[in-house]
Amino acid sequence: MRLSPALPIALLVAILPPCAGAQPDKHIQRVEHGLRLPIAVQGAPEQGMDLTERMRMWHVPGVSIAVFNDGKIEWARGYGVTEAGGKQPVTPSTRFQAASISKMATATAALALAERGKVDLDRDVNQLLGAWKIPPSPQLQEAPVTLRRLLSHTAGIPGDNLDGYASGSPVPSLLDVLDGRAPANSAPVRVSHVPGSGYRYTGGGYAVIQLLLAERNGASFPATVDSLVLRRTGMKHSSFNAPSASEAAMGHDLEGKPVPGGWHVYPELAAAGLWSTPTDVAKLMLALRRSAAGQPNGVLSAASARQMMTPVQGGYGLGLELDHEGPAPTFAHSGSNLGYKAMAFAYAGSGQGAVVMANGDYGGPLIDEILRAIAAEYGWPDYRQRVKPAAPYPAHLERYAGEYSVGGLPLVVTTEGGKLFAEARPLGPQKVELVPESEQRFFMRERESTLTFVPNGDEPVAEISFFDFGRARPGKRVR
């Protein structure tokens, strides 16, 4: 299901600017019409893309954006509707599932409790936990699981995916989740590697943190984070309790169809359960930045905020994704739940950044297009479009056309007008042009991916290699 192009403009845009004046409006207009693909072809005219058109293309009914500059929120806007086919507009106060951005709020609460002496970042958590403890394993004989390791995904717990629970289905308790006991749909939380030996992103580790913070604070986890973080940062539209349907954006699948019941439930609150807005997440990020700079704001001390922003392993600090090797240090976190995608990105020094939330499963690439528009408008060194030269199209393109299987997923290659196109679910809802880099290698403007065809003489190509997200995946022709 797509947004109707006939929707009244009042439903396409809702605005609540935190500051007045013409200059923010000019920024907003250029961002709205300046979305960019990750790759541009050298010598080809590059035109900005319209936000509402890209929302329709990506089957994303609603988007919310907050941009901050010089340490202050400059503007916030909502676009589209909370549910495909509906009339309720997305506004800056519409709540989205923040997904893994929840970890940022959780980590802030953990550091706040550590400052109060209720938890110790470097003590064996089994000495602090009550109702449940991490089961023994040979790896624990070499090093303990600590709160610092749980926060930084270095506790030796294997990576996992949190699928949530459909509306109306049984939802496990937190203890059920920790032990992988029905109706939990995830594996039990266990240590399989020596704690401290490496980075492995895991929601299960944050489920342990959820129990620990609640027990040590003597209150529920939502109440704990609310008192320590949300209220102190002015996050009035955020909670780890589900909002009413009138306050929330509904989740949507890859086809733009609403998730049954509106959304999945995530009992792993610390990892994925926060409901929030881009403006509220921006308030948290700016508060952390002020704390790290030694400016009092009532959330964390400078020492605690700096610990959060210090890389542990794998470019991850304590509840934050970090980049200290680029032109300017950044802290960020992405989020991905069923039907929702989000990104929060900030520069520690300049106080620039943005938070974008979308209520569609194809929201990830759309959010990247929006962030590239913001980066171009505000002069960020990150989220820059790359320019690549194109080679002439090789002869006999019909040898490349066909259906291939890559990792069990179909990828269809077709020819049209002397050009080559690829169609696959991970690439988006529409086919994308394959731009020649050489006679065998092709790139896409829509993502940082290449497709290489293995020569097969005068016969149709039988094997390909799809390089995506830093990994090469082999593929074979199936017809």
CA atoms within 13 A on the CB side of 186: 28
Quick one: tokens of 310? 């210090």
Asked, colleague to colleague, whether 96-378 and 391-477 share their fold, the answer is no
Tell me the H-state helices in 163-268. Answer: 174-179, 203-217, 221-225
- pLDDT tens column, 25-73: 999 999 999 999 999 999 988 889 999 999 999 999 999 999 999 999 9
pLDDT tens digits, one per residue of 311-346 = 999 899 999 999 977 779 999 999 999 999 999 999
CA-closest candidate to residue 246, choices 49, 421, 83: 83
pTM: 0.93
What's the pLDDT tens digit per position in 230-265? 999 999 999 999 999 999 999 999 999 999 999 999
Report the topology of domain 96-378.
Answer: Beta-lactamase (3.40.710)
Query: What kind of fold does domain 391-477 have according to CATH?
Result: Lipocalin (2.40.128)
Following DSSP, what letter does each residue of 232-250 receive, concatenated?
TTT-TT-BSS---GGGBPP
**Domain chopping of the chain, boundaries:** 96-378, 391-477
**Across the 479 residues of the chain, what is the mean pLDDT of every consecutive 10-residue run?**
32 41 80 97 91 98 97 98 98 98 98 98 98 98 98 96 95 98 97 97 98 98 98 98 96 98 98 98 98 90 97 96 87 98 97 98 98 97 95 94 96 96 94 96 95 95 93 94
**Cα-Cα-Cα-Cα dihedral sign, residues 343, 170, 1, 419:** positive
